[in-house]
Chains A and B, each alone.
Chain A
Amino acid sequence: MSNQALRFKVKQLYRTLLHLGRDYPKGAEYFRSRLHQAFMKNKDITDEKEIEMLIAKGQYIVKELEALYMLRKYRTLKKRYYDGNQ
């Protein structure tokens, strides 16, 4: 895969995560600073395989976050509207 295409993928991942971060329970700013740190930590990596691996890791985090939000919403509603002993 070319360098350009990888660059695009990384940027897209960052954008997706940034968007997800807006709903983060601890606040968007908290999430954004952590996200920025995580990406900056790996900015000097040039090995394509390694970058691919990191992108996969990022995509895993995207999935985890979506699941976290869904579960959080479900649990809040369940607690609010249904008896605790169900």
Chain B
Amino acid sequence: MSGIRVLVGCKRVIDYAVKIRVKPDKSGVVTDGVKHSMNPFDEIAVEEAVRLKEKKIVSEIVAVSCGPTQCQEVLRTAMAMGADRAIHVEVDPATYDHLQPLHVAKILSKVAQEEKVDLVLTGKQAIDDDANQTGQMIAALLDWPQATFASKVEKTNGELKVLREIDGGLETIKVRLPAVLTTDLRLNQPRYATLPNIMKAKKKPLVKKTPADYGVDVTPRQKVLKVEDPPVRQAGAKLASVEELVAKLRDAGLIPT
């Protein structure tokens, strides 16, 4: 039996180390001239696919990304890490501002069907919108079993044994292929895309598509009303004596009067 085929979703997000600034009109965050990189959870997904390939379980890895032209950099990184080829679903920047997990899930599920993959691997969530929806939606649209928040993956004939991170513990489940898997932080440590590998990745095939090619309507279903900074922590105060502290606590209603 030949190995399974994997589709890996890679989102381009603002780099994790960048300080996020909200636009003055509260319509979103500043993205112009800000460093972007691959969503760290998607990096873990790519790494897992590559490791499965090194174990000869996986035969081909296809990376896919939806978004503006710059997404190709992210796809190059994925290919430098070990993906075999890439599909870039081009969405112009204006539309991309309103692209929601449902649209991405619809596109990715269509890609999965067209490429006849056996496994869809994505990060559990993107670090920009923190939606944590795409993987689950893909599973629902394809009617495939899903294993979310994976922290360990093993292949047993025709099935995957997945250790999931759940509240307060771990859960082991078995899913039959084809399936959708989303990765948690502890699944693996992604490798660094080295310079020679990035150069080599430029020779790997990258296909450009549009949402229309997959018959997906990308008009927004939701409207973002406003984006705000998280509340700033109130500064503390230094008190000179115990009496002052007691008085302050009493004022705050924290101790009985």
Contacts and interface: CB of A to CB of B under 8 A. Distances in A.
Interface string A1-45: 000000000000001100110000100000000000000000000
Nearest to A22: B35
Q: Taking chain B's interface residues, is the majority helix, strand, or loop, or is none over half, making it mixed? A: loop
A76 B16 contact: yes
Interface in B29-81: 40
Nearest to A76: B16
A81 interface: yes
B195 interface: yes
A74 B192 contact: no
B123 to A, nearest CB: 11
Given A15-B195, A69-B192, A70-B192, A76 B17 contact: yes
B190 interface: yes
Interface centre among A16, A66, A69, A74 (most CB of B within 10 A): A74
Nearest to B130: A81
Interface in B199-226: none
A82 interface: yes
Contacts of A82: 185
Contacts of B17: 25, 72, 76
B16 A81 contact: no
Interface in B7-25: 16-17
A11 to B, nearest CB: 12
A16 B196 CA distance: 8
B185 to A, nearest CB: 6
Contacts of A69: 192
B189 interface: yes
Contacts of B16: 73, 76-77
